[in-house]
Structure 1
């Protein structure tokens, strides 16, 4: 199976990077092919510009968008790994979605105005970290809201079947043992799903 991991964290010594390494190791241990698109390392431009709109509408997909779309086309599964900032995707990842999951590539509208997801053959998985403890987000309904805006609002909208979404909260105050358990959860979950 071909896996595409889209990774959005600026620091190589972050816990998100440890999650990335664990995810890659788990998938490769089962013989899967893994491609990582580290958006910060790539210097990915997240701004959907007027030029982008014009080019996409005329069928002349800008080169950097076409490159990322080719990785998505080749993938059987797409995994997003990112920290939660202000209850949303980091700007670089939001811009990746804005630019790469474009109309006519990831979705379109039928003649009756219904949404048609064009990535229906793909499976999706997300891993999100945040500083706020999970119990707070769970009790306030925030976890469910986040799932609705990402799992449904991005993946399902484009036809991608979301298999799971792991949320790791309290990262800034968690100890090494807790973090090791989180990494174990990442590996076990990926091995079970794929």
Structure 2
């Protein structure tokens, strides 16, 4: 089975990149038939701007641009999609959000028009979310940030397309705690990526 890990952070030496690498390591250790691809959106220069060309795709007036079609093909080859990202303002970075805005397009991720019910097209896809946050568990719980992120990302994005969010982890205290604990969690996620039952969602490390 094949996993696509998408990471969005400008610093290749960041904890987010280390987490992505440890997830990949866990995947490769989990079985000889398991493979992994890491999509470093910053290094690859993905353009997150939703332009008139993307609007034309949404309106079913034009095919996806080449860069979007390439990302869709990457996901089509994957059995599991893993998003690794720093938490910016209680959400994902603009680069990753723009990747979703452009890639999860009408006609590919879902079918929407006014003449028929919404069709969710990504029911086969298993999604794993790993957010790296600087605040502590108490802050997230006290202000409801974890629940807000679940509503916005798990439900608002992936459920709309029919994709199944299997795990949703927040690796917190990232600026003050020993990173080794987070990296061990990341490796464990990778090792069990294709074994976890649906809806085994966790919210904080």
TM-score exceeds 0.5: yes
Displaced runs of 4+ in structure 1, greater than 4 A?
110-113
Higher mean displacement: 61-70 or 46-55: 46-55
TM-score by length of 1: 0.92
Task: Quote the Cα distance in structure 1 between the aligned partners of 2:4 and 2:181.
Answer: 24
Residues 122-167 of structure 1, C-alpha deviation per residue, up to 9 Å, x if partnerless? 1000100111112210222111111111111111111111111110
1:93 matches 2:96: yes
Residues 157-192 of structure 1, C-alpha deviation per residue, up to 9 Å, x if partnerless? 111111111101121122xxx321111112223323
Where structure 2 has 5 or more consecutive residues not aligned to the other structure, the ranges are: 195-205
Cα–Cα, structure 1 residues 51 and 110, in superposed 2: closer, same or farther, change >3 Å? Answer: closer
Higher mean displacement: 180-189 or 82-91: 180-189
Provide the secondary structure at the position in 1 that maps to 2:154. Answer: helix
1:134 and 1:168 in contact (8 A); partners too: no
Decide which of 37, 40, 60 is 1:38's aligned counterpart: 40
Q: What corresponds to 1:72 in structure 2? A: 75
Residues 46-74 of structure 1, C-alpha deviation per residue, up to 9 Å, x if partnerless? 00101222255224210000000100111
Task: Quote the Cα distance in structure 2 between the aligned partners of 1:111 and 1:61.
Answer: 21
Higher mean displacement: 67-76 or 50-59: 50-59
Alignment map for 1:60-139 (pairs within 5 Å): 60-109=63-112, 114-139=117-142
RMSD across aligned C-alpha pairs, in angstroms?
A: 1.6
Q: What corresponds to 2:54 in structure 1? A: 52
Residues 6-56 of structure 1, C-alpha deviation per residue, up to 9 Å, x if partnerless? 110110111111101101100011231111111000111000101222255
TM-score by length of 2: 0.87
Cα–Cα, structure 1 residues 143 and 62, in superposed 2: closer, same or farther, change >3 Å? Answer: same
Task: Quote the Cα distance in structure 2 between the aligned partners of 1:123 and 1:183.
Answer: 21
Q: What corresponds to 2:22 in structure 1? A: 22
Where structure 1 has 5 or more consecutive residues not aligned to the other structure, the ranges are: none
Q: What corresponds to 2:147 in structure 1? A: 144
Bigger proportion of residues as helix? 1
Provide the secondary structure at the position in 1 that maps to 2:122. Answer: coil
Aligned residues: 191
Task: Quote the Cα distance in structure 2 between the aligned partners of 1:54 and 1:140.
Answer: 39
Task: Quote the Cα distance in structure 2 between the aligned partners of 1:181 and 1:158.
Answer: 33
